[in-house]
């Protein structure tokens, strides 16, 4: 092989490497980095605005997630929940606690680019069955801090911290984990940690 052909091969390999790095950065910004101008949540907002007939971006977001329930349920969620917080991985994470009688608890985890209040239907159902419910905003979602979406991997440790918080309230707590989409992945990974 001569030097000219070797140079062409290195040029092609260099180009493929640059293309791989660029595509990786675009994918990262689109799916993981919530502060990126091309993050998927911004695309979701555009889709929601385009399909929204009510005029409210929040209602469009809730409708798009498919998990909000009726206006009465949204009102119930807002009025009955108590804001609670934990610190996990130096991030202040938000949850909403719905106190019921007894020692049965459910931690409800939402999906990708959603938030805890979009789980109002599940929260209300578990509450009506007698459970204490803790609906949590995953890191980089809702009212929780963070800029990187971990797709459930770092969030599994956050769920462990939420469990510890519940156990500090009630040492006899019996805890169920419930998640949808990315929240389901989170609770499955968390269940492997305890």
Q: How far apart are CA 89 and CA 146, in angstroms?
A: 10
Encode the chain in three state secondary structure. CCHHHHHHHHHHHHHHHHHHHHHHHHHHHHHCECCCCCCHHHHHHHHHHHHCCCCCHHHHHHHHHCCCCCHHHHHHHHHHCEEEEEEECCEEEEEEEECCCCCEEEEEECCCCCCHHHHHHHHHHHHHCCCEEEEECCCCCCCCCCCECCCCCCHHHHHHHHHHHHHHHCCCCEEEEEECCHHHHHHHHHHCCC
Q: What is the pLDDT of residue 68?
A: 60
Domain ranges of the chain: 3-57, 67-191
Q: Identify any residues that bridge with 95 across adjacent strands, giving them in sequence order.
A: 84, 136
Q: Which of 55-64, 136-145, 152-161 has the lowest mean pLDDT?
A: 55-64
Structure tokens, 182: 């990315």
Are the C-beta atoms of 186 and 193 separated by less than 8 Å?
no
The CATH fold assigned to 67-191 is: Rossmann fold (3.40.50)
The residues, any chain, with a CB within 8 Å of residue 23's CB and separated by 6 or more, are none
Residue 184 half-sphere exposure, CB side, CA atoms within 13 Å?
2
Q: How far apart are CA 163 and CA 57, in angstroms?
A: 33
Average pLDDT, the chain: 84
The 10s digit of each residue's pLDDT in 21-75 is: 777 777 666 677 777 766 666 666 665 566 655 545 455 444 444 446 677 888 8
Higher-confidence residue of 90 and 25: namely 90
Q: How far apart are CA 38 and CA 21, in angstroms?
A: 17
pTM, two decimal places: 0.76
Q: What is the pLDDT of residue 66?
A: 43
The 10s digit of each residue's pLDDT in 99-111 is: 999 999 999 999 9
Tell whether the model's pLDDT for residue 92 goes beyond 50: yes
């Amino acid at each position: 092989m001569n030097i000219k052909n070797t140079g062409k091969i290195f040029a092609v390999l260099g180009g493929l490497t640059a293309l791989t790095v660029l595509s990786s950065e675009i994918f990262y910004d689109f799916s993981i980095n919530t502060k990126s101008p091309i993050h998927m949540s911004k695309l979701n907002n555009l889709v929601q605005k385009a399909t929204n007939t009510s005029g409210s971006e929040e209602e469009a977001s809730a409708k798009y997630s498919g998990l909000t329930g009726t206006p009465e349920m949204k009102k119930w969620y807002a009025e009955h929940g108590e804001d609670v917080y934990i610190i996990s991985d130096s991030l202040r994470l938000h949850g909403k606690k719905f106190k019921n009688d007894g020692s049965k608890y459910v931690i409800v985890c939402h999906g990708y680019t959603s938030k805890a209040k979009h789980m109002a239907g599940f929260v209300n159902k578990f509450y009506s069955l007698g459970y204490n419910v803790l609906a949590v905003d995953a890191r980089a979602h809702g009212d929780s801090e963070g800029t990187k979406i971990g797709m459930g991997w770092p969030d599994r440790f956050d769920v462990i911290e939420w469990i510890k918080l519940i156990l500090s309230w009630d040492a006899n707590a019996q805890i169920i984990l419930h998640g949808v989409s990315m929240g389901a992945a989170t609770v499955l990974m968390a269940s492997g940690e305890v």
